[in-house]
Amino acid sequence: MLQAALYHYLRKECDAVTTAYTTLQQLPGDAGAIHEMRVGVKKLRAFFSLVKQLPDYSFGAGKHLHTVRLIQAIGGASRDTQLQEKHLRDYEKRVKWRFSFAHLLLKNKQATADELLQATIKHCSLKKLGSLPEKFKEAIADTDHTAATTVLIKFLQQQHQRITLPASRAHHTVWHGVRKDTKALYYQLTILEQVLPSAHTDVLTAHTKKAGELLGQWHDTSELLLFTKATIAQLKKEKITLPMNASQLVQLLQLDVKEQLALCTVQLRQLIAVSS
């Protein structure tokens, strides 16, 4: 049952990534396809971090994932810029001011990313990804179900214990690391949801999902704050005077970052407290 569950999950995610890639070949800037590509690659990375814990596991997936990781990284830059501009517009409505120079920087960044993505897709192929599930299935055919399940449960417990609450003044990169660990654990829990007893995973999965969502919201606001402050600093260096709205925008972002981190802290405490 374990081998079948792992194979079917891998097959589903490889197919999803391939479908997104086919869309991007026709529509290089398609936001939905870029999103599906990014999520798919994150799930695949979480998958192979999990399965490499299997007893006597020796299957190397790196060569099958190299191209898709490259496309995901480049597409991610485009998608991040799209989301950042949308997020900026939402905040601009609240301060009744359009930060035109920031939009210009974001559009230039996105144009560069889209051009690079189009060139990459034109010269790349995901043929190796299509054969990955079958090769993986063959590699784990003789894995002992009971021993493997025990090892994977222990790994999930270790991943859960790895998630800790950062100090109150921790750098944003520390929080970002917690966000990545939380998201990876959530994916790994969903990979094994058909194998492990629901009593073992349901509560942990729910708390992990919620923590990941809140940390994602904080991350988006935090990145926009960093970008806004850097852009304002650049304009000040060039002796360009900005209206009071610029300061209001920064203050609003700072307040939201603080409030979102408070929500993340509450949810992380609940997640950490869940009995494995």
SS3 readout for the chain? CHHHHHHHHHHHHHHHHHHHHHHHHHCCCCHHHHHHHHHHHHHHHHHHHHHCCCCCCCCCCHHHHHHHHHHHHHHHHHHHHHHHHHHHHHHHHHHCCCCHHHHHHHHHHHHHHHHHHHHHHHCCCCHHHHHHHHHHHHHCCCCCHHHHHHHHHHHHHHHHHHCCCCCCCCCHHHHHHHHHHHHHHHHHHHHCCCCCCHHHHHHHHHHHHHHHHHHHHHHHHHHHHHHHHHHHHHHHHCCCCCCHHHHHHHHHHHHHHHHHHHHHHHHHHHHHHCCC
What pTM was estimated for this model as a whole? 0.91
Q: Which two tokens stand for residue 202?
A: 């349901």
The label of the residue with tokens 């869309």 reads 23
User: Which pLDDT score, from 0 to 100, does residue 276 have?
Assistant: 57
User: Which pLDDT score, from 0 to 100, does residue 199 have?
Assistant: 67
Q: Which two tokens stand for residue 261?
A: 């981190």
User: Which pLDDT score, from 0 to 100, does residue 273 have?
Assistant: 94
Chain centroid offset of residue 210 CA: 14
Q: How far apart are CA 136 and CA 127, in angstroms?
A: 15
User: Which pLDDT score, from 0 to 100, does residue 104 have?
Assistant: 96
Q: How many CB atoms lie within 10 A of CB 17?
A: 25
Q: Give the closest residue to 78 by CA, choosing from 38, 46, 18.
A: 38
Which residues, in sequence order, are CB contacts of 153 under 8 Å at separation 6+? 196, 200
User: Which pLDDT score, from 0 to 100, does residue 28 have?
Assistant: 76
Cα torsion at 49, 54, 59, 64 (round to 10°)? -30
User: Which pLDDT score, from 0 to 100, does residue 151 have?
Assistant: 94
Q: Give the closest residue to 204 by CA, choosing from 157, 265, 150.
A: 157
Mean pLDDT in order along the chain per 10 residues (276 residues): 92 94 86 89 93 91 82 84 95 96 95 87 85 93 92 94 92 96 96 78 93 97 97 95 95 98 97 85
DSSP conformational letter for 119: H
Q: How far apart are CA 220 and CA 211, in angstroms?
A: 14
User: Which pLDDT score, from 0 to 100, does residue 66 have?
Assistant: 83
**2-273: what CATH class?**
mainly alpha
Show me where the domains of the chain are located.
2-273
Q: How far apart are CA 200 and CA 192, in angstroms?
A: 11
